[in-house]
Every structure is written in C-alpha cells, then in structure tokens.
Amino acid sequence: MRRSPCNCVTMGKILLTVCAGVLSASLAFAQSPKMSPKISKDLEGIGSSSQVDVIVQFNQAPTARHHQKVLDRGGKLKQQHEIIKGGAYSVPASALADLAADPDVAYISPDRPVTGTASGADTNSVLDYYLPTLNAQYASSLDMTAPVSAWR
C-alpha cells in the first residue's frame, strides 16, 4: 500500500506545529536562574552595569583579607561594621554573584538609609530621649526619694 504525498506533508506540518507549541510552552514556563540565597531579594533586577551600595556580612569578624576580597571585585569600602561582622561597600552589581559564592560571605543586603521614627509635635527629637518613648509621665509619678537599699 502506497501513501499519498499529501498525507505525509500534512502529518509533517502537524508534527512541526506540535513541536513548536511544546517548545514555546517550555520556554514560557522556564524559570530564570535563581540568585544565591546569600543575596537579598531586594537586590534582584539591578542592572549589572550599575554600582550598588551593600552591606556584606562575613562568617567571622572581617580582616584586611576579607575586605580585599571585595576590593578585588571592584568594590570600595565605605565603612566597617564590627558588630555585624561586615562592612558597607559600593560594589558593581555584576560582582554580587561572585562575591556571594565566596565561602567567607554570610549574606549581602542593600545598604539602606536609617532614620528615626519620632512623631508628634517635635519630630526632630532624638528617639532615645523622646518623652513618650521614655514614658516620662509615669517615671515622674514614682516616688524616687527612697534610698537604694529600700528598693531590694
């Protein structure tokens, strides 16, 4: 039995259409490569040609060798932060993945501005000394004239 050339061409077109559909569907649902879990999600989508201000935390208190690792990748040390075992740097965004792959690096996060949260009539107050923060009315209502030995 001989097949007609029309049938083969039709089957070929159907097969090609199915393959194209499967390929386009797999590309549509393909996930983009994930960033390292050591890099904050807030740093996703930053252009690789831009400089970004970050805080790099290390697994131990950083030494000159740790800071040099960032400098070797085009970074610039802005400030050391011993209390969090890290430092604030300006780094090319393209170097973040390579830096995160370093076993001495614990986490990389954006260096965000920090501001006080004082509110009320005097918003320029330092929060530590802001009267509502101290609960000054309660403290002034206490009898603080007793000797220290009486407090025990």
Same domain, 23 and 53: no
pLDDT, residue 5, reads 55
Q: Residue 74: give its domain's CATH number.
A: 3.30.70.80
Is position 54 within any domain?
Answer: yes
Residues 25 and 46 in one domain: no
Residue type at 5 in one-letter notation: P
- 67: domain range? 41-110
Mean pLDDT of 57-64: 95
Question: Residue range 121-149: average pLDDT?
Answer: 63
Bridge partners of 107, per DSSP, are 57
Dump pLDDT digits (tens) for 63-119.
999 999 999 999 999 999 999 999 999 999 999 999 999 999 999 999 998 876 655
Q: What pLDDT, on a 0 to 100 scale, did the predictor assign at position 10?
A: 74
Question: Tokens standing for 124?
Answer: 């320029």
Please determine, for residue 130, whether its predicted confidence score (pLDDT) is greater than 70. no
16 shares its domain with 60: no
Number of independent structural domains in the chain:
2
CA–CA distance, 71 with 65 (Å, rounded to integer): 10
* One domain, residues 46 and 106: yes
Is the domain of 68 the same as that of 103?
yes
Q: How many CB atoms lie within 10 A of CB 35?
A: 16
Phi-psi domain of 45 (left: phi exceeds 0; alpha: psi -120 through 50; beta: other): left
Run of H or E including 25: helix 5-29
